[in-house]
Chains A and B, each alone.
Chain A
Amino acid sequence: MKILTKWLRSYLSDFAVSDAQLAEDLTLRGIAVEGVYDLGPGNGSLFEMDITTNRVDAMNHYGIAREAAAIYGIELKPLDVALPEFRPSAKPFSVAIQAEDVCGRFTARVLRGITIGQSRDWFPGAEIATYFGLLEQKKISSAVDATNFAWLAMGQPTHAFDLDKIEGGIIVRRARKGENLKTLDGLERTLDPEDLIIADHAKPLGLAGVMGGWDTMITSATTNVLVEAAWFEPMAVRRTARRHGLHTDASHRFERGADFNAAPVASALVSRILLANGGWLEGNLVDVRVAAVESRAVRRPPVHLALSEVHRILGKTENEEGITAATVENFLTALGCQCTPAQAAGPAWNVVLPSWRLDIEREIDLIEEVARVYGYNRFANTLPVFGEGVKSLPLAESESAVRLTLLAAGFHEAIASTFCSAAEAALTAPQPGLVVPLGNPLSEEAGVLRPSLIPGILTMVAGNLHRDVSDVRLFVLGTAFSGTTERVEERPALAFAAVGTLPEQSALHSPRAIEFQDVKGVVEQVLSRFQTRTVYFDRFESDAGLTPAWLHPYRAARVVADGLTVGWFGQLHPNEAGARKLKEPVLLGELYLDRLCKLPLRKPSAREISRFQTVRRDFSLVLEKSVTWEMIDQSLTALAIPEIVEWRAREIFHDARLGAREYSLLLGVTFQASDRTLREEELQDFRAQIVSAVAKTGAHLRA
């Protein structure tokens, strides 16, 4: 919306503040001036305004002048609505409101002997040519320009009819089925029985509060004019406008609530201008009001306001004196309220609200007005006194431990889409079928809530590879959704994916490709952050249907901690990789943090470190391919020899000399006693026990 300061100033007495200062002061009081353009000497400035929709009353020159008057404590001149004496009419013009629920007021004024022509600066206060020129507002005809002038001046829509085209009188009613109306934009419209229209005794004349009709349009031949100014129910106008795909100045205002009392004023403004070019008024203003609407819109009960409440809500000001009773009264009076002192312990008022401020209804609204006009930045910066302890989220620490582990392992954190396609959901949902579709998805690829973080991370992996970023290590912490459209379950999850080489950069050593055991290591490290009794990894027969479909059935592992499945990881199923055109193997996994984080975080506890020498012995074993590390591991555990403090698989060989059925494992075992140096005989004995223990798996020492 555009505002001329030259026009605005015509409504203010003794107003000396510069345009730039005015723009800033208005902006800081919620009447935002987005741009200030100098229009040259004597022309003032043009303000480009951005006014929030709750302040439709300020979307015009007089409304903003009222704000300025309140801010600076200066006088706002009343609008000059003096009209010449009317000539008596034989009978008053006939106006009937049939749709009383949606039209609260209809005023009609008859002007005769009018000459339609070019607009000019008619008289002081009606400088149409000058103002429209500065606003670059197109001039159409003296009648249309007059209604536009009233609109820009005070924000009340009006309409001028060619009186001679009206048959009988005005009826405000709903349209009848099958009725048609050609509107001012030249379109022939079929009316809906819900449409609110202005009609005469024979036909529809216009869409009430939205747009006038073609047939009763003012033309250069028009001599007799009917000026309409009315009040319509916001929802009725909104529905009519929507139905016909129209958004006009008039509908904009009526949809947001017009000023019930503004109709006669706007009618007078328009009539004064039309009469400036000759003609006369016939009869007095016809003003039909619906009492029920009037009492709701205008005769609202006064609102009680106490100064103590103002202080309780707003607090301290920078100025010692602060907000006094006089401050409150002055501001509210300037905004159009009537303040009557009320019975109370301290200063208080019963405040009658202005008809144009439908956004004010309650005491708090008045307090806001006081704060706004006073200026938000004149309040002090104080801090509330806090005495409470701070609680953090139950999962925060666990989630942070997981995040730090992944970061340390060289994975970047990513944030993935909350949505995925139905096909991706079917592939990755941990509980098949419990997938929640959106009613208005952004796209088909984002049609459902993600049941797993896997689709999102796969999309990002593919994005990197397609951009020729060959080393990808990403993780996502986020919410996975399951359930139905009746009830949606949310659970926290972690997904990670890796392609390419290990997160090491060296000029001296060649990089090594990331493999299954690397991501297993990451999972183990994550699990080691938690206090667990048992952790194991397993997988199912490929035809059991228990392995997630997105995983390679022979390179996948389920993660089980304390008896609960906490996730799956492994290599992306080659079919999936193929579908996404991924040539490199993708290692990825998902951990169910809702389950994992039920486990307490591991609390480190120190143990005595033996001061006696450690001894390491390596065992070069030959095993059948079917013998897994887990079996060797368990056989050493079963020995339960306290002096065996650690063992690990140091190396795996697949040696051609062993044939296809066997492989070789270098088992490194560390011995240490807490109370003595181990003697050679003891070591020999342990060694023999180990060899015999692993022999039960079929393993034997390599010759």
Chain B
Amino acid sequence: MTTDAIPNLSAFDDNSLDRAFVALKQQAGDEAASLTTPDSVEAFRLGWLGRKQGRLNEVSSRWLKAAPPEAKKALGQRFNDLKKHVEDLLAAAEGAGPNDAALAAEAVDITLPGSRRLTGAEHPITRTLNEIVSVFAALGYSVGVGPEVETDFYNFESMNFPPGHPARDTQDTLVIANQERRPLRDRLLLRTHTSPVQMRTMEQQPPPVRIVIPGKVHRNEADDATHSSTFHQVEGLCVDTNITFSDLKGTLDHAMKALFGSSVKTRFFPSFFPFTEPSADVQISCIFCGGKGCRKCKHSGWIELLGCGMVDPAVFAFAAEKQPAYDPKKISGFAFGMGVERIAMMKYGVSDIGQFFAGDMRFLGQFA
């Protein structure tokens, strides 16, 4: 910014005035050309138009006052002309903002990765479990839970497992220490399925019942890529008057479509569980190949996913001990159960079930 003082004018003829004003215009133009920042624009404005030290003010006070009366008009015209010129320059500078060179100096590397505040990942089992539960919640099922340490009564006896059933063996079930001297039905063990919550719910509540039961269960089993001594199940129970096998089929067909996509087909075939009769295993058409057959479905086109059946009258008889409304002649119901790990492994392409329980940050981070 020039700080040259405005010289005194010695001659006021037109030529002299022209020369003097052209020089000022030139000077203003040069200065305006180098304005890059808002600060410099403001300095330019103050330097030329400022009320106290502005150059135009000085021109007015020095030249206009000193001019002889006959030259005042010519000088006044040229002064107004200069003022407009400066104002135009200023308007242009203000409107244009910083020039390209100035902006270029502020360039950032947009290809550098964004700075991120990392969020945590919900566990894939929690995620899958919630997904399954919400499918059934939408069908009118409430959520039920029960203890992980159960009695033999709830885990086996009331689920119609006969006394010598192999599942009761300590080779299959993890048991709490020092139970041998207690009556069989009071013995404590780690529940091997979420089914005991069926009985606990029915004891608390007369029909109708519609519950879905997510939970952790344990078996005395050696861990390998597809088996874990700890795993999760979602169990469902629906009891009312006139609940039928075709209702069970329709409910699970709907649920599988909701979980795996509307093009998924289901098929049911006979199976055996102590607490249901008739019992069924449910397969869904392979979600990887659409049923054509692939490595994942062992070229069968089908994947076995859950077990289900109509609640066995013997189970209702146990419930009726506390809630007489569970009369198997008047009411009926179905139950189903599925392994959450298996579904999560399929959905997310996990090949080793052990990864769910290892807490490896690299594994878990994939689900963020």
From residue 237 to 251 of chain B, which have CB atoms closer than 8 A to chain A?
238, 240, 242-247, 249-251
Inter-chain contacts of A317 with B (CB < 8 A): 246
Hey, what's the 0/1 contact readout for A464-490 against B, CB within 8 Å counting as 1?
100101011111001101000100101
Asked whether A641 is an interface residue with its Cβ less than 8 Å from the other chain, the reply is: no
A386 touches B361 (CB 8 A): no
Asked whether B57 is an interface residue with its Cβ less than 8 Å from the other chain, the reply is: no
Cα of A52 to Cα of B279 in the assembled complex, Å: 12
Hey, what's the 0/1 contact readout for A659-685 against B, CB within 8 Å counting as 1?
000000000000000000000000000
Asked whether A509 is an interface residue with its Cβ less than 8 Å from the other chain, the reply is: yes
B238 touches A384 (CB 8 A): yes
Nearest 10 A-B pairs (CB), nearest first?
A: A315-B244, A30-B270, A460-B359, A315-B246, A386-B140, A381-B250, A506-B115, A368-B278, A503-B118, A407-B120
B244 touches A316 (CB 8 A): yes
**Contact among A313, A384, A416, A481 with B251 in the assembled complex (CB-CB below 8 Å):** A384
Closest approach, in angstroms, between the C-beta of A389 and any C-beta of chain B? Answer: 8
Asked whether B164 is an interface residue with its Cβ less than 8 Å from the other chain, the reply is: yes
Asked whether B29 is an interface residue with its Cβ less than 8 Å from the other chain, the reply is: no
| A469 touching B362 in the complex, CB below 8 Å, given contacts A376-B280, A505-B113 | yes
Inter-chain contacts of A93 with B (CB < 8 A): none
Cα of A150 to Cα of B118 in the assembled complex, Å: 70
A471 touches B361 (CB 8 A): yes
Q: How many A-B residue pairs have C-beta atoms within 8 angstroms? Tell me.
A: 247
Hey, what's the 0/1 contact readout for A392-426 against B, CB within 8 Å counting as 1?
11001000000100111111111111100000000
* A interface bracket (residues with beta carbon within 8 Å of B): 35 or more
Interface-lining segment among A8-16, A119-127, A265-273, A435-443: A435-443
Closest approach, in angstroms, between the C-beta of A76 and any C-beta of chain B? Answer: 20
B249 touches A381 (CB 8 A): yes
Asked whether A289 is an interface residue with its Cβ less than 8 Å from the other chain, the reply is: no
B142 touches A391 (CB 8 A): yes
Q: Main SS of chain B's interface residues?
A: mixed
Interface size on B, residues (CB 8 A): 79
Cα of A684 to Cα of B139 in the assembled complex, Å: 65
A365 touches B147 (CB 8 A): no
B contact residues vs A (CB 8 Å cutoff): 112-113, 115-123, 125-126, 137, 139-145, 147-149, 164, 170, 174-179, 188, 190, 208, 210, 216, 218, 220, 229-230, 238, 240, 242-247, 249-251, 253-254, 267-272, 277-280, 310, 312-313, 332, 356-362, 364-365, 367-368
A474 touches B359 (CB 8 A): yes
**Contact among B119, B126, B365 with A408 in the assembled complex (CB-CB below 8 Å):** B119
Inter-chain contacts of B176 with A (CB < 8 A): 436-439, 449, 485, 488
Inter-chain contacts of A686 with B (CB < 8 A): none
Closest approach, in angstroms, between the C-beta of B245 and any C-beta of chain A? Answer: 4
Inter-chain contacts of A463 with B (CB < 8 A): 358-360
Closest approach, in angstroms, between the C-beta of A369 and any C-beta of chain B? Answer: 9
* Interface pairs (12), CB distance under 8 Å: A30-B271, A32-B269, A312-B242, A376-B249, A380-B246, A381-B250, A412-B120, A441-B174, A463-B358, A485-B178, A504-B118, A506-B115
Inter-chain contacts of A413 with B (CB < 8 A): 120-123, 126, 364
| A28 touching B269 in the complex, CB below 8 Å, given contacts A418-B190, A439-B176 | yes
B116 touches A390 (CB 8 A): no
From residue 289 to 314 of chain A, which have CB atoms closer than 8 A to chain B?
312-314
| A503 touching B117 in the complex, CB below 8 Å, given contacts A313-B332, A377-B268, A382-B247 | yes
Cα of A504 to Cα of B115 in the assembled complex, Å: 7
